[in-house]
Amino acid sequence: MTRTRIIRCYGKLVAFTGGLSVTRAEASALIAALGATPQAGPNKHTDFLVIGDGFSGHDLADFQTGKALAAAKANAKKAHIEVLTEGDLLEMLAEPVTLGEREPQPV
């Protein structure tokens, strides 16, 4: 049997704001390779907003970019956009969740 693993961001919509330690294209490619969909900006469907520039909080009011403000407005209208620092994202990507076991499929 093989173990089936998923990453917490699999199937999620992710937007970025602020400066990151990698280019936006590299960050987008990284999460896309793990099954997430990168977005140009947050909207009511966004799951995660990753904030760079050494941001260390989790409150959108503490980081005033256009994207952070858009996410705060969406959250005020019952959206649930989770704020992640770049470090939070890297930790999340490094810790996959195991969802049981399955039989290998014949080739």
What's this model's pTM, rounded to 2 decimal places? 0.79
**Domains, the chain, with CATH or none:** 2-54+78-100 (3.40.50.10190)
The DSSP output letter for 15 is E
pLDDT category at 46 given cuts 50, 70, 90 is very high
* Helix or strand run (H / E) with residue 48: strand 48-51
CB atoms within 10 A of CB 105: 6
- Using one digit for the tens of pLDDT, what is the confidence trace for 61-97? 788 788 988 998 999 999 999 999 999 888 887 775 5
Q: What is the pLDDT of residues 9-37, one digit of tens each?
A: 889 999 999 999 999 999 999 999 888 99
Q: What is the CA radius of gyration of the chain?
A: 15
Percentage, residues of the chain above pLDDT 90:
44
- SS3 at position 14: strand
User: What is the secondary structure of 51-90 as a DSSP string?
Assistant: E-TT-----GGGS-SHHHHHHHHHHHTT--PEEEEHHHHH
For 27, the 3-state DSSP assignment is: helix
